[in-house]
Structure 1
Amino acid sequence: MRDKSDWQDLASDSISESGAQFLLLMSMVSGMATVAFTGSIPGGLIVGGWLVHLAIKRASEYVNSEIAIARGLVPHVLKGQNLKEYEKQYGIEVTATEIETAAELGCSVSADAQDLLDDAPMPAAPATSTEWTQNLVKQTALIWGNQGGGKSWLARYVVKLKKDAGYRVIVCDPDSNRSEWKGVESYHTWEDIEAQIRLYVDELERRLADLNNSDKSEDEWRAGLQPIALITEEATTYGDFIKDKALLEKFGKLALTKSRKPMMPLTVVAHNNTQLCLFGIKGLFNLVSKMLQVQCLAQVDPATLQPRSTGQALVKLDSSNEWLPVALPKIEKKITQF
């Protein structure tokens, strides 16, 4: 099974190959245009003008596809067996949504991808209730999506839920400051973020050892704990600035596999759900693919051409392969007071 970064590489190779074929075609057509221009000025102008228009259109689609692929939108350029494998891995709804989003961004869509989109069943109406967000309070989860999809605002909503539920909330956000996170602990320098990760790992291991040595039932033991919630914003970049890769790898594995019983859930906020979304550490894809995930869906505003939230998301529950459509909580203003 490929991870998302492998799919992105395959998609990039695909459009590069198409680009090379297009250049060959253009060289042939330019020869025809020259002949047409030599034999007939009006004919040459028509063919030449068509050639320029086609070249500009294709170049624009190529650039748009590169941008879309970098954002994690892949299936619009896939064909044949590759597209079938992608659909099998991610499901028809996710695949169709990504193709549709790429088309809205001005990308060219392969014939096979268009056929899949035409044949895809109408997506189920998202649940209007936001009770599903309670799953994000006690469980380790990944919130991801393209720019403008609403993932950071959803993360803030979840932080408020955790705070209201009695959690000690710790936020690591390298692109912000404490004025954005009033009422919870927040850390913003890489030195402080690394220190908090180290403290999290030490406390999680201490709690696990305490549980193993306890003569209480699990429920009794947990009743005496202060639940701790760690939020990591911009998690994909951590590996670039925190050099202790062994610490990051241990952090990722413990948080994804051992955080439930000690009541120390981790919420990861990232731009994609590849194995590198967890702090840039490779080898965690199987753990990422099984975890609770929320993909916040974005669309392109036709007036401003800027991405914006659709107000909808897809949720994949822990250890499930099914993506369920849900409505995002309606948030009128960014939450900064918790």
Structure 2
Amino acid sequence: MKRRLILEDGTVFEGVGFGAAGDVVGEIVFSTAMTGYQESITDQSYNGQILTFTYPMIGNYGVNRDDYESIAPTCKAVVVKEFARRPSNWRAQLSLDEFLKRKNIPGIAGIDTRALTRKLRAHGTMKASIVDPEDVFEHAFDQLRATVLPINQVQQVSTQTPYPSPGIGRNVVVIDFGLKHSILRELSKRECNLTVMPYDTSAEAILELNPDGVMLTNGPGDPKDVPEAIQMIQKIQGKVPIFGICLGHQLFALANGCDTYKMKFGHRGLNHPVKEIASGKIAFTSQNHGYAVAEKSVNPANLLITHVELNDGTVEGLRHKLYPAFSVQFHPDAAPGPHDALDLFDEFMELMDAFKEEHHA
């Protein structure tokens, strides 16, 4: 079953289809991860995107029950050089092809992903479509150019109703902007009692729960498309400890007067070196984002830049100087990726304990 990948600039790649059938349009991005494809595909931060893997062979260890980062993934499609038809791993329950069919996600293989990635690095992310080769190119290209990509991405992936993840320790409210299950796992490992809330939950509703801390999760899209969350953060900071990850980091920055911008091709992969400025320690991190905080917009009167990305110098961490609140652009929960930054969850625990002791002394 042949398929065609068309880019917004008119470039065409011929390939072979796998996974679900059907034509799709989305923003095409690339991940440099060599492993962890199941976690990446099920990461809701890829909502609406066509995900290209730069590693040449994808699917060789199959798909298993333990590595989901969401139950219903919402990436538009998957692009690979070659997919493994017969996975070999003791945990494998499905092949990548079977998994994508079940989740209704089209795939295209046989693509020169190195050439595609070089183009995206040179020209930036762009719209793309995967179509049947029988479709008339001019018509398919016109449809691609006319498509307006959605801006309500967080609304699409956030939970609609609050739900608990019971524990016996600190009470943490988790604001779901498109969370990865690994964030909940790390908080649960530390025996936190979790209440997961929708992205548009009011500050009043959060504070009524009397939480020990608030987690702002990752999620897809432009942080400026979630003004409700920015206002909510402004109202709760100072009243409760806050930890933001990825989109949560960008929203925390916007709530404190910073600006954000769309990156040329973003950071998506498992090997991004990040330096903690205070200690000089370098961690290799898992990242997945297309927006970043503008360094010149960070007001040193209220925010401290704590981490920077060593490849391009982008802002990767912030800490509030007046309130118990901090955020990072990368994923300390990893999944997939290195666990170099897991101690940030312990730091969040210490922040909550210190705040509680100070205000209940």
What's the TM-score, normalizing by structure 1?
A: 0.29
More helix by share: 1
Query: Relative contact order (C-alpha < 8 Å, sep 6+): which is higher?
Result: 1
What's the TM-score, normalizing by structure 2?
A: 0.27
More strand by share: 2
